Amino acid sequence: MRRNKEHSKQGLPCEDMRLCFKRTSPLKNDMNTKVNLCGIELDNPIIPASGTFGFGYEFAELYDINMLGTFSFKGTTKEARFGNPTPRIAECYAGMINAVGLQNPGVEKVISEELPKLQKCFNKKVMANVSGFSIEEYVYTCEQLDKCDIVGWLEVNVSCPNVHGGGMAFGTSPEGAAEVVRAVKAATTKPVIVKLSPNVTDIVAIAKACEAAGADGISLINTMLGMRIDLKTRKPVIANKMGGFSGPAIFPVAVRMVYQVSHAVNIPVIGMGGVSSAEDAVEMLLAGATAVEVGAANLVDPYACKKIIEDLPRVMEKYKIESLAGLKID
């Protein structure tokens, strides 16, 4: 999977870019793409996933990002992180492995520098993706982002290792995930969506524990654990040895887990994992998702989400779908 060079083009400041793009054609009157995510209406269910869309304004140089349902910005931690050593990307037949390591400038700079840039070119609520290495870090970062008017949801990534709990990721047990949820909910006012890892024995039990602890929504799946070995050097391709595997290859696994979780909880589910087309997005909605995140596809083609949104009417017409809300099958 090769990154499109257009992704890195430098263009006009994002506040001027909306003048340069034509709005997409309106949908047919009998087609409704709107969905409601934790009390906030989205124009459509398509959401670029955290870690694949920066802080949004970078993509505003390519197209009007206000066409998106919303997007989840780059995973943010309490302190700045420089990420893992390189190389930290490996290509695969139908996906990619990454071990970027949550590189970000820290929550204070995200609020003071990144979000003001975003507000110049995005007039909707954004999803703040939060990571932490202790309960206290999760709470602090969520508290700060909860105060930002542009933030509509807090997406809490519980795939991080608990440095005070032997290094085991919070999201690998129902108890660990629930502990994070309870602490964050007690300190915030905005909807909390918990992002779950597929690298567990029983993802349904973890989702149900998060719901019981007060979560407003669940997003899944995060990346699967993968590895590549270089035949010439006989060493792992990635310096970190292993990383998160994403892309079309994991789509059937994601659909299965979204189906299982959405039928076990009574809160909204955001489906993700290998979504690359409008057909994939509708399949996720049929599995029980309320909205759909698109990840690795953005790294192959920075226009991926734009194309998916523009193609939704065709797919809806083809399969005689009048509304994207409430498509979940039994």
Is there a domain that residue 71 lies in? yes
The pLDDT of residue 13: 45
Torsion from C-alpha of 93, 63, 120, 269, nearest 10 degrees? -50
Look at residue 324 and tell me if it is in a domain. no
Cβ atoms of residues 146 and 155 within 8 Å? no
The pLDDT value recorded for residue 166 is 62
Residue 227 lies in a domain: yes
Task: Give 312's pLDDT tier (boundaries 50, 70, 90).
Answer: very high
pLDDT in tens, 92-108: 999 999 999 999 999 99
pLDDT digits (tens, 9 = 90+) for 135-186: 999 999 999 999 999 999 999 999 876 667 666 689 999 999 999 999 999 9
Q: Is residue 168 part of a domain?
A: yes
13 and 103 Cβ atoms separated by less than 8 Å: no
Q: Range of 230's domain?
A: 5-318
pLDDT of residue 17: 41
User: Can you tell me the mean pLDDT for 241-270?
Assistant: 97
Supply the pTM of this predicted model.
0.91
Is residue 323 included in any domain, yes or no? no
* Number of compact structural domains in the chain: 1
Residue 165, pLDDT score: 65
pLDDT of the residue at 1: 47
**Residue 308 falls within a domain, yes or no?**
yes
Within a domain: 329: no
* pLDDT value at residue 2: 43
Residue 173 lies in a domain: yes
Q: What is the CATH number of the domain that holds 208?
A: 3.20.20.70
pLDDT of residue 161: 67
| DSSP of 9-65 | ---S-HHHHGGGSPPPPPPPTT-B--EEETTEEESSSEEEPTTSSTTSTTGGGTS-G
Does residue 310 have a pLDDT over 80?
A: yes
**pLDDT at 8 > cutoff 50:** no
Tell me phi and psi for residue 236, to 5 degrees. -55, 140
Q: Please confirm whether the linkage preceding 238 is cis (ω < 30° from 0).
A: no
Considering the candidates 14, 38, 121, 160, report the single residue annotated as catalytic: 160
Known catalytic residue at 148:
no
What residue type is 179 in one-letter code? Answer: E
